[in-house]
Structures are given as C-alpha cells and as structure tokens.
Amino acid sequence: MNETVHKLAKMIDHSILHPTMTDEDLRRECEVARKYHVASVCVKPYAVKHAVEHLSGSDVLVGCVIGFPAGNSSIEVKVFEAGQACKDGAVEIDMVINIGKALQGDWEYITREIGSVTRVCHENGAIVKVIFETDYITREEDIVTLCRICTRVGADYVKTSSGFGFVKQPNGDYHYKGATIPVLELMKKSIGPNVKVKAAGGVRTLDQLLAVQAAGCARSGATATAAMMEEAIARFGN
C-alpha cells in the first residue's frame, strides 16, 4: 500500500455503532476495516468478542464505546463497562463524559470520572479516548479545562463527538456539527505532549480527513471508510 494511503488508513477508527446494526452488519463492516487496514473498529460493548473473532489475524485493533452515546452512566458503571470490554478483547476505549456535570462546571466529578476510567483501561493494557461532545460543550474555556483534566489524569486521546450528539434546531429538526477545525485546533493546543486528538462526527470525505489531519488529529472516526479510502487510492496510488 502507498505510504500516504497507509498513513490515512491508520488514522481511521471505523465506526460500527448505529443502534440498528445487526451481527451481519458487524461482520460486513469488520471486513471493510480489514480490507483497508484501518487503525481500528469502534463497536458497541456486546459486539467486542465478535469483532475480535472477525478481525483475528489482521492488523486492525478492536475498540469499544463506554457510556455511549449520552454519557449518563455512573462512574462505577463506566468503570465496570470499560473493564468488561477490555476483558472481552478491546484494546481501545472511547468513553463519553458526563455532559451535564461538565456544563455545570463540576470539574472534581469530571476529573474523578475520567481518571477512574483511564485507570482501569491502563490496568488492562488499553488506551482511552475521552469524548467531550462538543455540540453540547461549546464554550472554549470548558473545552480547554477538559483538555487539561485529560492531560493531568493520563488519558491518551481527547475526542470531539460521539456522532450522536444531536441538538434540537428552531424548526424542530435535530442536527450535529461534530468535529470542526477551530475546535480541533483548540484541543490540539490545549493538551499535553502525551495526549492526542481524535476527530469524530462529520468526517465523510477524503478532503475532510486530510483537513483534520492538518489540524493535528492522529485519529478520526468514520463510517464512510470505503469511499474515503477508494478516493485516497485513486488520488495517491495503491
């Protein structure tokens, strides 16, 4: 595989998270991940064992979401869920913070929450990515504070969105922006040297993937993986 294409593939966490996805959908999407040698798949907790089986012998890692998508579980439940996912074979954990606690500025709670999940992940040899849900956490000072907390407790990644953080619009429709370049750049400059940035939500084209790469992201969530990789192969060679 062309080096540029390979590097782009290794940015992608292929998301298999929609609530309607069946075991057959999981199998098919794991094959997509295997075909393009992406960094990882990101699956629902019950699907970790199946994903590990499907991807056996490949270079694709298995990740799992925790407290997903709204972040409302207690700290103890998130810790248990993360530990169980690791036992099932996940080596990357994407956790959603308690959004309401962040919005009210309860940083002691948020520090304890992120720190507790990070601890159990690291004890089990997994990395942790912390989802802020930046369609809800919109104030720059709150994003900066979250980045500093993640740095302090040793989280491995900060991440913009779950992909399901829909905000009600004036006309009654629901919509989310997901990863935006200004927010990614703010996160990048607000983390310590051992923390990386993951874009998630709204990265659906090769140009968008290249844009988040240029903004300093090491990973990006994606569902349009096949389309992006085929475009990358066409543009940069196989």
Residues noted as catalytic: 94, 159, 198
Q: Dihedral (C-alpha) 125, 8, 48, 134: value to the nearest 10 degrees?
A: 90
Size of the chain in residues:
238
Q: Which residues of 134-147 are buried (b: 16+ CB within 10 A; e: fewer)?
A: bbbbeeeebbebbb
Please state, in angstroms and as integers, the Cα–Cα distance from residue 21 to each residue in 24, 41, 175, following that order.
Answer: 8, 14, 21
Distance, CA of 219 to CA of 28 (rounded, Å): 22
Task: Please give the biggest Cα pair distance in the chain.
Answer: 49
